[in-house]
Amino acid sequence: MSFNLPNPSLLGILLVISTHSGPQLAFKYPEDLSSDGKIRGTADTAGGASSSSDEDDDEEDDDTGEDDEKYSHLNNSRIDPTDGLTTDDNFGSNPWDTHRLGFYMGTKKDLILFLDDQERNRKHKSSLSSRSTKKLAHTNNFLERPIFGIEPAYLCEMLAPPKKMCNSRFEITIDDKIFLGLPIQKYDNGSWRLKESKKKDIDDEVVIGKVEVPSTDTSEPEPVSTLNMFHLVFIMNPPVIEINYRIDEMFHYVISRLSLVLRYEQLKVDFMSKQLRIMFNLKEQYKETDLLHHLISNSPLCKIIFDCYNSISRSQIANLSINNKLRSFQIPIKTEFHSLPEPTVPYLPGSHLSSTVNLLGNSGLINVGETTRYGQNTNILTSNYLQNIDLEEGTNAADDVIYFALLLLDDPESIIRDIKTEQDSTLANFINMIKPTESLLKLSLRNTSLDLSQIRSFAFHLIYWRRARVIQPLSTRSAYIISPMAPISINLFNDIKKFRNTYPSLPSLPHFLKLISSPSRKPQQFATIIPSKDHRDVYLEALSWLIRYGYVTQLQTFIWLKISRKIKIKVEEDMENESLSRKRSGVSKSISVGTDNTSKDTNIKPADNTISMNDEREIENIKERLKANSLGPKVSLEDDDDTIILDPGRATTLERKWIKKIISDECKLSNELIAIFYKLLKYMNGKSPLELLLLKENISRTELRKLLLAIEDHIISVRHW
């Protein structure tokens, strides 16, 4: 078991609707949802579903399988006239061709065998034709066939919940099948959305109050002008140990979003009602022909369900045309990891390992792989189920993405062709402009025809379509290492040839990897392996190739701010001195006030310059208040360990005193370095790489290096991906 591997576990999709005449099954795909949980006539899914049928059909299929095996040689084999046996060698064309010499060398036995085979072939074709007719009849009434042993009418009653249970997640388990969906119910005000105006027009009241008389003929098309509810139900059978996770991701990424898009189109243009009308008309028109084929070919709604099933069940992106608008739905595949998984936990070969995946981890654009070693929560639902993420605005994605570069996962021409955009379109021009060595921010400055919002939107779309991934801009001054997740034991043999064909002038793939990350020395800047300036571009291209296929990842620097015991003692002494100074200041002020009051009172004469009893009490009260309101927290030095500030960007009062002591007294930083230090401070959390600081804060490597040397005794530095 691994949540890193795609497993949609999708068996089928049902469309259940409800009108004044009650609930009914409008469409289902695949056509045959048999009782054993397997699907016949469709490609295998990632969940392991395969083809099957009911008992009668199983017997016919068994016979068919035997016949197919028995007569399969008629199409791909030849008859050797020398021995009369069928062989699989491709000796030549038809041996019974009169233009061949072997035709005249056959015996009577050979001729009899040939004629017998011809007769069996004719019978086999006749049998196939008969079964095709039976299958056609089976197809035409596919909506009435039991669904996993359940009558459709009874199942529809369960899948059409009461009004109070609609417009929220619906889940029901029957045997080992999970029926999951988001039933969309029309509200009492006649609208499909609750926030619409509650005022009803007269025409609306007439339509809503119209009573339909049910037809006695159940084969008559159902009027859909009184559509009250539609429910797109996904049938799943995930492994028991993965049930909660698989149904959560299916609902979050596909079901809720698709259902809300259909609700939006129904609200705006009465989309569902019109499509159901088309569907019922097709059912009437093609009763005696291949109904399923005509429904998928001529009904956009059926085509949506058909495409959605075929793509999602294969863990692909479902590009659906809904009311002439292209909408994309998918369960993101986990090819991004911010920490190394357990050795026993499988993952897809060529996955990427980098801390920068946290940038998009909560945006819905990617699905970060599990990291059970570090207690990563596998629950992906960090946001509301019904939140319909709009990639156009990018409100849920990190703003920092503009400081990063895009790495295309295919060549630009293939991407432009696959996403079916025009060669001269704005998106195509953007794809051709992408360079892995250039951040999106610099790209926007270089090309004034695209503003930053457009670039960000295009970038999010390419990431969502699995055509690109976010990386830090490639640089010859950065260090790179062989990824611990590199597919060396799986893909290296084939990739050696691919790398040689792509970069024939460079060292072989194994030698190139050894140059990047040699076990005999520490990782160095990528520039150290480039022979000359003339080789710079091709070496960077090869580096991007290695990152694309998961062989290499960037080595990054992370630091923490360390507070030594010496700093703590000095700050505590400063706090004590400040407290004593305040005490003395308070006593002096009190004595001064008492003396003034005494001198003003002519009837009271102080004896021998002594303080009165009232003055003594006041002084004691001041001392007590000073003790109770001691400035700063109490610092315990029982443990002689140093302290690491985990989040210096939100430092406490005491932590700020420690930091100030370091930069002013210990390191004596100049004003220029102090300004850089405070820019760096929020990155000293062990989570944000210093390479990101260089990209965002406009700090040069020279300035950063100078600062790190000045404070090196007060930081802890580590380097990893």
DSSP string, 99-126: TSGGGGG--HHHHHHHHHHHHHHHHHHH
Among candidate residues 291, 355, 267, the one with its CA nearest the CA of residue 558 = 355
Q: Which of 329, 353, 385 is the last residue of a domain?
A: 329
Q: Which of 329, 353, 374 is the last residue of a domain?
A: 329
Q: Alpha-carbon distance 354 to 95, whole Å?
A: 62
pLDDT at 77 over 50: no
188 found inside a domain: yes
pLDDT of res. 111? 65
Place of tokens 């509650």: 198
Average pLDDT of the segment spanning 696-710? 90
**pLDDT digits over 274-314, tens only?**
999 999 999 888 876 788 899 999 999 999 999 999 999 99
Q: Pick 427 or 105 by higher pLDDT.
A: 427
Average pLDDT of the segment spanning 403-410? 93
**pLDDT digits over 520-541, tens only?**
788 899 999 999 999 999 999 9
Q: Alpha-carbon distance 675 to 402, whole Å?
A: 24
Helix (H, G, I), strand (E, B) or coil at 197: coil
Average pLDDT of the segment spanning 659-672? 90
- Do 649 and 562 belong to one domain? yes
- Do 183 and 309 belong to one domain? yes
Question: What phi-psi label fits residue 397: left (phi over 0), alpha (psi between -120 and 50 degrees) or beta?
Answer: beta
Instruction: Label the pairing between strands 10-19 and 22-29.
Output: antiparallel
pLDDT at 18 over 50: yes
**Single pTM value for the model:** 0.69
pLDDT of res. 477? 93
> Could you tell me which residues come within 8 angstroms of residue 555 by beta carbon, excluding any fewer than 6 positions away?
478, 479, 480, 481, 523, 719, 720, 721
Query: What is the longest distance spanned by two Cα atoms in the chain?
Result: 155
pLDDT at 401 over 70: yes
- Do 347 and 438 belong to one domain? yes
Confidence label for 213 from pLDDT (cuts 50, 70 and 90): very low
Q: Which of 329, 361, 377 is the last residue of a domain?
A: 329
Q: Work out the percent of the chain whose per-residue pLDDT is above 70.
A: 69
pLDDT of res. 130? 56
Average pLDDT of the segment spanning 580-603? 59
Q: Alpha-carbon distance 82 to 94, whole Å?
A: 14
pLDDT of res. 78? 34
pLDDT of res. 604? 40
> Could you tell me which residues come within 8 angstroms of residue 233 by beta carbon, excluding any fewer than 6 positions away?
13, 14, 15, 16, 159, 170, 179, 180, 181
- Do 449 and 308 belong to one domain? no
- Do 186 and 307 belong to one domain? yes
502 found inside a domain: yes
pLDDT of res. 345? 87
- Do 451 and 493 belong to one domain? no
Place of tokens 């939100």: 650
Among candidate residues 356, 376, 466, 381, the one with its CA nearest the CA of residue 419 = 466
- Do 274 and 367 belong to one domain? no
Sign of CA dihedral 304, 307, 311, 312: positive
610 found inside a domain: no
Number of domains in the chain: 4
590 found inside a domain: no
pLDDT of res. 419? 85
Confidence label for 613 from pLDDT (cuts 50, 70 and 90): low
Amino acid at 219: S
Upstream peptide bond of 30 is cis (omega within 30 degrees of 0): yes
Q: Alpha-carbon distance 471 to 468, whole Å?
A: 9
pLDDT of res. 377? 45
206 found inside a domain: no
**pLDDT digits over 425-437, tens only?**
899 999 999 999 9
Most confidently modeled range among 87-91, 101-105, 571-575, 603-607: 571-575
Average pLDDT of the segment spanning 23-38? 78
**pLDDT digits over 564-586, tens only?**
888 888 888 888 888 888 777 76
**pLDDT digits over 162-209, tens only?**
888 889 999 999 988 999 999 999 888 888 887 644 444 433 332 223
Residue-number span of the structural domain to which 683 is assigned: 557-578+639-721
411 found inside a domain: yes
Q: Pick 232 or 522 by higher pLDDT.
A: 232
Average pLDDT of the segment spanning 454-468? 91
- Do 287 and 152 belong to one domain? yes
For residue 390 the two structure tokens come to 């709009």
pLDDT at 225 over 50: yes
Confidence label for 366 from pLDDT (cuts 50, 70 and 90): confident
- Do 368 and 503 belong to one domain? no
Q: Across the chain, what does the average pLDDT equal? A: 76
- Do 152 and 301 belong to one domain? yes
pLDDT of res. 255? 96
Helix (H, G, I), strand (E, B) or coil at 18: strand
407 found inside a domain: yes
- Do 367 and 495 belong to one domain? no
- Do 504 and 571 belong to one domain? no
